[in-house]
Amino acid sequence: MTDVIDLEAFGEEFRRDPYAVYARLRERGPVHRVHPPGSDATYATWLVVGYEEARAALADPRLVKDGERIGAIFLDEQLVGKHLLVTDPPQHTRLRALVSRAFTGRRVEELRPRVQRITDDLLDAMLPRGRADLVESFAYPLPLTVICELLGVPETDRVAFRDMSTEVVAPTSEQSGYEAFVRLGAYLTELIEDKRCAGPGGDLLDDLIRTTAEDGDRLSPEELRGMAFLLLIAGHETTVNLITNAVHALLTHPDQLAALRADPDLVDGVVEETLRWEGPVENATYRYAVEPLEIAGVAIEKGAPVLVGLASADRDALRYEDPDRYDVHRDPRGHLAFGHGIHYCLGAPLARLEARTALRSLLERAPDLSPDGPPGEWLPGMLIRGVRSLPVRW
């Protein structure tokens, strides 16, 4: 039996800087059996840390997303319903076809003026103060407002929604995470029913309620709730941390910030290098071996859970030269921050648009932006990578 590496034993070091731990693991091999921090003492999962192995695993049909295929039942799926991250073909193919039209390049480009307006309004409110927590005042409300407007979440509900979603992706305890799922599932059920009764309102959730494929296929009530959950959570939590991580990286790398200030067109490079160097998703959500298989010569037993380490893969020296260096001039193409294969992030174009708009506008209007103290604690868990607060001044 393969030894289990207890990631809990690395303590706060692992939360603050998981990359050093991942580098040590990669030196020993691309696949390891680990005990994730905060999990049950008897729980172990396979963790893929090498780039080539991670890329292959993300597209391997033997590593499935639907736990029911290996006999597992998950309470969170029962509470919110099936969605793209917990389904496989043909169900995944069907669900993605029904929602992908909302995230075409043309549809996202149509959002550009509204994203800019929201950005400008947030900066109008923040900049006169001279100092702020960037997360609270800017990085969080921007994507939250965009996705809530896109899906038709009433403005009066957004504070409560934020509290629920944060607890879902980075729970402070197992019980609080469960309770957040319960509340969020109930909220989405009520929201969908209200929209169904109110008639067409022109937002994306209305479109999903009423969308019909050429063959007459429609989303069931449970699928609607699951898709609303995924779009609301994935549609803002990740972008919050992409914006925050980019600003944090620039402030801690003054030479790179100076390069961007000298050439604002480098903003695309900033976004892509941040996605590679400190992307908002540390590890992909769980996959399960639907049959025995090998990854890099390591035997993975049928039914075993597998985590694909996106953050580790994107710091692999076999893929990127000097991978721990943050370099906005780098060509980071091929990074896995948005995944790979059929589960590649549907919202990637929208996340890129929001991050580019946010960074360009922030640095144009606050050219002397600087740190105003240390950042807050890094989020718990192995899913989302980001800090709870980022004090800045200008």
For the chain, domain boundaries? 4-393
Q: Cβ contacts of residue 364 below 8 Å, gap of 6+?
A: 264
Residue 309 phi, psi (nearest 5) = -80, 95
- Omega cis (within 30) before 349: no
CATH architecture classification, 4-393? Orthogonal Bundle (1.10)
Distance CA 277, CA 197 (A): 46
Q: What is the pLDDT of residues 237-256, one digit of tens each?
A: 899 999 999 999 999 999 99
Q: Counting beta carbons within 10 angstroms of the beta carbon of residue 89, is it exposed (0 to 12), middle (13 to 18) or buried (19 or more)?
A: exposed
pLDDT reported for residue 78 = 76
3-class secondary-structure state, position 44: coil
pLDDT reported for residue 161 = 82
Q: What is the pLDDT of residues 70-112, one digit of tens each?
A: 988 776 677 788 889 999 999 999 889 888 877 777 888 889 9
Buried/exposed code over 182-210 (b: 16+ C-beta within 10 A; e: otherwise): ebbbebbbebbeebeeeeeeebbbbbbbe
Which residue do the tokens 């779009």 mark?
231
- Quote the tokens at residue 254: 């003054």
CA distances to 12, 80, 162, 192, 376 from 206, in Å: 44, 18, 21, 8, 38
Residues recorded for the chain? 394
> In terms of Cα–Cα distance, which of 338, 329, 331 is closest to 311?
338
**The one-letter amino acid at 208:** L
pLDDT reported for residue 66 = 94
Residues in the chain where the model's pLDDT stays below 50: none
Strands 370-371 and 391-393: what pairing?
antiparallel
Q: How far is CA 67 from the centre of its chain?
A: 20
pLDDT reported for residue 213 = 54
Distance CA 353, CA 359 (A): 10
Strands 31-35 and 298-300: what pairing?
unpaired
pLDDT reported for residue 216 = 65
Q: Counting beta carbons within 10 angstroms of the beta carbon of residue 268, is it exposed (0 to 12), middle (13 to 18) or buried (19 or more)?
A: middle
pLDDT reported for residue 212 = 61
Q: What is the pLDDT of residues 190-204, one digit of tens each?
A: 988 888 887 777 788
DSSP string of 105-162, one letter each residue: HHHHHHTHHHHHHHHHHHHHHHGGGSEEEHIIIIITHHHHHHHHHHHT--GGGHHHHH
pLDDT reported for residue 202 = 74
Distance CA 308, CA 73 (A): 21
Q: Cβ contacts of residue 57 below 8 Å, gap of 6+?
A: 48, 63, 287, 295, 306, 308
Buried/exposed code over 359-386 (b: 16+ C-beta within 10 A; e: otherwise): bbbbbeebeebeebeebbebbebbbbbb
